[in-house]
Chain A
Amino acid sequence: MNDRSIYPLSQPVKGAGGKTGSWRTAKPVIDLEKCSGCLLCWLFCPEGCIGKNDRSIDYAYCKGCGICGAECPKKAIVMVKEEQR
């Protein structure tokens, strides 16, 4: 750990890969009325972009993969094309 160019070590930092939200072609939109709070979306999100407490989505880093929407048993998350904003 003394010389970073000998050992390829890294520690995760928020946003180390840049604002990956710009990669998105479709964004997940959550309907909290339909949401039962099961937190499957929080569990499955590969980027950790869903807030555990308020189920808010961090659009700065969400890449729009759609896994949250596909996993949601209540169909409370729909993917909206970015062009349609």
Chain B
Amino acid sequence: MKKILDTGNAACALAVKAARVDFVAAYPITPQTSVVEKLAGYIAEGKMNAKYLPVESEHSAMSAVAAAAAAGARVFTATSSQGLLYMHEILHYAAGGRLSLVMANVNRAVCAPWCLYVDHQDAVSQRDTGWIQLFAASTQEIYDSIILAYKVTEKIHIPVIVNYDGFLLSHSMMPFETVDQDIIDEFLPPFEPAWRLHPQWGGTFGNVTPAENYAPFRHSLAADIRKAGEVIEKIAREFEKLTGHWHGGLFDAYRTEDAEFFLLSMGSMASEMELAVDILRDKGIPAASIRLRVFRPFPAEELSRLLPDGARLLVFDRNYAFGTEGGVLLAESKAALFNRKDDIKVVGRAVGLGGEDLPADFLAEKAREMMEVLK
């Protein structure tokens, strides 16, 4: 274990190197660029035994890593914003193909208007592609989540996106602890795919399929991704045992004791939310923060379990689900709690779009506005 001071993108690249990835294909985009720059550097300098394929677009990057994964390689790519949107078609292919893939998405607002700074519209727009989506809130969590994501994807054959906020996490420096290579090698043995594309096998994958065969694939993906939450939590515990690193299970909860108001958010906003909770608590308001770490599969039952009878859930979305009353987390939380018989109430706001600054006092003020609405 070694403690270093560096950026989120550096932590991501170090984790990819430590995971002994075989193949990287990527197209640079702000604020992801320094991840793939670093990886290209490691490979060029011989510090990482992998093939780097510079491609002409994100559509090609995802196509290349999906194909390499189908051939049995441990693969990585990274993107942001418009790049993720451009991958959309192949995201479905990768999940439907049950490929083991890990991608970092450095969250950034989507056009138009053009904006380089953080929000979560890029990630939530890929909600229904069948990928697992994790959200990190610190440099350490980025590092650990990348390594955990490989273990998860290779166990259940569903691709994983590790999301972290552009600039706030990708470019600001924070101390974090790297894990010794022998521990990572123990945690993450060489990838043994269930099948691989190979000329000697002579088969194909993802070929044209009639409904009677198509439907079972989709049903099994739907069922398996719902079970993924349990797998993620179990693997996170296994990682904790080896490294001592723990960021919470599906949620990271803060000051939930005797709480009445629960402030739900994800990404770096959720770290600031803990300070907002302190401000509210100082004023005698029984507030708590719950940080969603696993956006897909959405941990509906776990959310309900966290909230006592009559709880007030205040949802902070860094995105919009256009055509609904607010963001994606608001709609999902309401759906998750719909069958509750108690007097639970949910309200939400979309904040922090396009990198709008979210200091703790602002979040506390927003929370108080939402409490007024619920009165």
The residues of A with any CB-CB pair to B shorter than 8 Å are 1-12, 17
Q: Could you say which interface size class chain B belongs to?
A: 20 to 34
Given contacts A1-B194, A1-B195, A2-B194, contact A9 B96 (CB under 8 A): no
B339 at the binding interface (Cβ < 8 Å): no
Q: Which residues of A contact B203 (CB under 8 A)?
A: 9-12
Give me 6 A-to-B residue pairs in the complex whose CB atoms sit less than 8 angstroms apart, sorted by A's number.
A1-B195, A5-B217, A6-B157, A6-B194, A9-B205, A11-B202
User: Does the CB pair B157–A5 fall under 8 Å?
Assistant: no
The residues of B with any CB-CB pair to A shorter than 8 Å are 96-98, 157, 194-195, 201-209, 213, 216-217, 219-220, 224
User: Does the CB pair B194–A10 fall under 8 Å?
Assistant: no
Interface of B is mostly: loop
Given contacts A1-B194, A2-B194, contact A8 B157 (CB under 8 A): no
User: Does the CB pair A7–B195 fall under 8 Å?
Assistant: yes
User: Does the CB pair B207–A8 fall under 8 Å?
Assistant: yes
Q: Which residues of B contact A10 (CB under 8 A)?
A: 203-205, 207, 209
CB distance from B214 to the nearest CB of A (A): 9
Given contacts A6-B157, A6-B220, contact A12 B204 (CB under 8 A): yes
Interface of A is mostly: loop
User: Does the CB pair B195–A8 fall under 8 Å?
Assistant: no
Per the bound structure, the CA–CA distance linking A72 and B20 in Å amounts to 51
Give the residue name and chain of the A residue nearest to B206 (CB): A8
Q: Which residues of A contact B97 (CB under 8 A)?
A: 7-8
User: Does the CB pair B194–A8 fall under 8 Å?
Assistant: no
Q: Which among A2, A3, A5, A9 has the highest number of chain B CB atoms within 10 Å?
A: A9
User: Does the CB pair B207–A7 fall under 8 Å?
Assistant: no
CB distance from A80 to the nearest CB of B (A): 29
User: Does the CB pair A5–B216 fall under 8 Å?
Assistant: yes
CB distance from A40 to the nearest CB of B (A): 25
Q: Which residues of A contact B220 (CB under 8 A)?
A: 3, 5-6
Given contacts A1-B195, A2-B194, contact A7 B205 (CB under 8 A): yes
